[in-house]
Amino acid sequence: MTKNLLLYLIILFSISAHAQKKSKITNKKKAAIEIIENRIEELISLSDEIWSYEEVAFKENRSSKALADYAEEQGFTVKRGVAGIPTAFTAEYGSGQPVIGILGEFDALPGLSQKTVPEKDPRNPGGAGHGCGHNLFGVASMGAATAIKELIDDGKIKGTIRFYGTPAEEKFFGKLWLVREGLFDDVDIVMDWHPSAETKADVQAGLALVDFLVEYHGQAAHASADPWNGRSASDALELYTTGINYYREHVKPTVRIHYDIQNAGEVVNVVPDYSKIWTRVRDTKRDELVPVWKQIEKIAEGAALMANVDYKITLISGIHEVLVNRTGAAVLQKNLESLGPIEYSEGEQDFARKIQAATGKEQVGSVSEIEPLEETLEHPMGGSTDVGDVSYVVPTVRLRATTAPKGTPWHSWAVVACSGMSIGHKGMEYASKAMAMTMIDFYEDEKLRKEMKAEFKERKGDYIYKGMVPEGPPPLEME
């Protein structure tokens, strides 16, 4: 029997077995839903507080503190500043096996500050904003963890719940350092979610990526009086980007290459002696990413030779694609169908249609239906997440819940607006309930946990995971 056929049969059997169980909300799940509903106003308040802080990667001091303080108030044992990151923390309750982890993010994106109105109108011009809904992300996960904590406290389920406060997902991928410190090594299953324009079990792997800096060092000179005495670091940078852009024609369609010029000189009448550019390369598989990355490093070297300057390449970090677990996703799917879709008021739909009008999308409002369980694509497109690295050390189940209207451009002011009002709040509450219900299944069903681990081992195969981070501490002061 081939490896792929064996994997298919394992997944098919486990999904079929769990699908045959009657889809209903058990008393324990009803209790978890009630706990979340009873706390929803304080969860919304906490989410709006984090939304208002607008804190970016590794600077989420107030956001992290608000979540960690809340966890302590609920009776969790909190460890702050884990993995050498001041804004990373864990919050744990219970004892023994199984240990179920749940992820919570809370960083914002630069330049996206926005009021809760359906047209572009920044709260703090030039400031950051939650254009990926992470103010909802961390709080929904905390709500689900708190529901599980209460059930453990009441003796209704047994085991350990551990919330991970994970900073800097948008830029530096903070989970990499938590993984490196072994903080997931004793966990049986991890639960994760992300704000979205649809509601579904997420069974796509996303893209692996690598981030690195290229710096050029030349010789300054007067740009008019004696430019022949200068060696332009800016020339090297331009040659580098030109090389990248010619290279785009000769990479696979799944490859994505981005760059951000961070320094290219200060004034027009000086030949620049320094330049710096942040480069990002993505592909659907880490192994397929590496040759593209190495070719772009050669382009950087070639640009330095042509401009007669020195150069330096520094790895920032890199992440794996997600190792999907369809066995766990099938259980999540059942719980989504039991919950039913999110319902919206006409006022919320009006807000949604105005968001769509302002961003040039079809005015259809927010989508209510639950998407069916998709086929896992071999080469999916889309974004990237450091959840991928977590998924290579522990079986990970992922959810998407609707927090913004259909078609909304992500990483935009429009998502910020929705993340601070009731459309976002409803998605947050829904995600919290769905994850709590699914974790109850994980706690109660040892056979399910074994099936999930079997799929995890089969998908991972003989691949030996190694995180793509440089030695030493996280880049806390890097801009």
- In sequence order, what DSSP letters do the residues of 64-126 get, joined into one string? HHHHHHHHHHTT-EEEESGGG-TT-EEEEEE-SSPEEEEEE----BTT----SSSS---SSTT
Instruction: State the average pLDDT over residues 248-275.
Output: 97
Q: Which of 302, 319, 336 is the last residue before a domain boundary? A: 319
pLDDT at 7: 56
Question: Do 230 and 328 reside in the same domain of the chain?
Answer: no
User: Which value, to the nearest 10 degrees, does the dihedral of the CA atoms of residues 387, 173, 52, 408 take?
Assistant: -60
Between helix 27-53 and helix 61-73 the angle, nearest 10°, is 150
| Spatial contact of 33 and 436, defined as CB atoms under 8 Å apart | yes
Q: What is the DSSP letter of 199?
A: B
Asked if pLDDT for residue 220 goes beyond 90, the answer is: yes
CA distance 449 to 443: 8
CA distance 420 to 403: 10
More confident of the two residues 268 and 17: 268
- Confidence band of 18 (pLDDT split at 50, 70, 90): very low
Asked if pLDDT for residue 11 goes beyond 70, the answer is: no
Question: Do 231 and 85 reside in the same domain of the chain?
Answer: no
pLDDT at 22: 41
Residue 234, domain member (yes or no): yes
Question: Do 333 and 272 reside in the same domain of the chain?
Answer: no
Residue 148, domain member (yes or no): yes
| Spatial contact of 446 and 164, defined as CB atoms under 8 Å apart | no
Residue 473, domain member (yes or no): no
Between helix 422-444 and helix 134-153 the angle, nearest 10°, is 40
pLDDT at 424: 98
The structure's pTM equals: 0.93
CA distance 193 to 406: 18
Task: For the sheet with 77-80, list strands across it.
Answer: 77-80, 89-94, 160-165, 99-104, 189-196, 396-402, 200-202
Domain that holds residue 294: 208-319
Residues 346-399 pLDDT 10s: 999 999 999 999 999 999 999 889 999 999 999 999 999 999 999 999 999 999
Instruction: State the average pLDDT over residues 119-145.
Output: 97
CATH number of the structural domain spanning residue 426 = 3.40.630.10
pLDDT at 380: 94
pLDDT at 6: 55
What mean pLDDT, rounded, does the chain reach? 95
Q: Which of 288, 319, 350 is the last residue before a domain boundary? A: 319
pLDDT at 330: 98
Q: What is the CA radius of gyration of the chain?
A: 24
Question: Do 343 and 447 reside in the same domain of the chain?
Answer: yes
Residues 192-213 pLDDT 10s: 999 999 999 999 999 999 999 9
Instruction: State the average pLDDT over residues 338-351.
Output: 97
Question: Do 296 and 223 reside in the same domain of the chain?
Answer: yes
Residue 385, domain member (yes or no): yes
Structural domain count, the chain: 2
Instruction: State the average pLDDT over residues 24-48.
Output: 97
pLDDT at 9: 52
Question: Do 130 and 20 reside in the same domain of the chain?
Answer: yes
Residue 233, domain member (yes or no): yes
Q: Which amino acid is at 345?
A: S
CATH number of the structural domain spanning residue 264 = 3.30.70.360
Question: Do 30 and 155 reside in the same domain of the chain?
Answer: yes
Residue 182, domain member (yes or no): yes
pLDDT at 23: 53
Intra-chain end-to-end CA distance of the chain, in Å: 51
pLDDT at 300: 98
Question: Do 144 and 35 reside in the same domain of the chain?
Answer: yes
Residues 297-319 pLDDT 10s: 999 999 999 999 999 999 999 99
pLDDT at 479: 78
Asked if pLDDT for residue 430 goes beyond 70, the answer is: yes
Helix (H, G, I), strand (E, B) or coil at 18: helix
User: Closest Cα partner for 127 from 59, 60, 191, 54?
Assistant: 54
Asked if pLDDT for residue 286 goes beyond 60, the answer is: yes
Question: Do 111 and 224 reside in the same domain of the chain?
Answer: no
Q: Which amino acid is at 63?
A: S
Residue 276, domain member (yes or no): yes
Instruction: State the average pLDDT over residues 426-448.
Output: 98
Indicate the helix (H) or strand (E) that contains 257.
Answer: strand 256-263
Question: Do 123 and 218 reside in the same domain of the chain?
Answer: no
Instruction: State the average pLDDT over residues 274-301.
Output: 97
Neighbours of 126 (CB within 10 A): 8
Q: Which of 284, 319, 354 is the last residue before a domain boundary? A: 319
The helix, strand and coil proportions of the chain, stated in percent and rounded to the nearest 5, come to 45, 20, 40
Question: Do 83 and 144 reside in the same domain of the chain?
Answer: yes
User: Closest Cα partner for 134 from 56, 197, 210?
Assistant: 56
Percentage of residues in the chain having pLDDT higher than 70: 95
Residue 254, domain member (yes or no): yes
Question: Do 380 and 304 reside in the same domain of the chain?
Answer: no
CA distance 38 to 16: 35
Strand extents, DSSP E, 147-236: 160-165, 189-196, 200-202, 208-217, 221-222
The residues with which 396 forms a beta bridge, in sequence order, are 190
CA distance 475 to 314: 12
Q: What is the DSSP letter of 219?
A: B
Spatial CB neighbours of 45, under 8 Å, sequence gap ≥ 6: none
